[in-house]
Amino acid sequence: MADTRESNGTSIPEKCNSPRIGDTKPSRSVGSLVIDIDCSDALEGLKAVTREAKDATAALKELEEQHEKMLHKHILGDFNNEFL
């Protein structure tokens, strides 16, 4: 029985659910493959992005605090001026 997608109710063929679409040959091991990938540059870049995001978050927090202070002063200033 074919699965049905929840999003739009369309059917998905059974062979699409298999890990190897259209591959009917039996698999066999012919050896192993070792891959050495140098991803140090990518990691350094991700760390730099993380640092920048933390700095931006801290700056935004400080900006929000200053905005809150200014808003508070403005409200108190208007309140005090009404009763003077």
pTM of the entire structure? 0.46
What are 29-39's pLDDT values in tens digits? 889 998 989 99
What are 20-65's pLDDT values in tens digits? 555 567 778 889 998 989 999 999 999 999 999 999 999 999 999 9
Q: Using an 8 Å Cβ cutoff, are 4 and 16 in contact?
A: no
Q: In whole angstroms, give the CA distance from residue 1 to residue 13.
A: 9
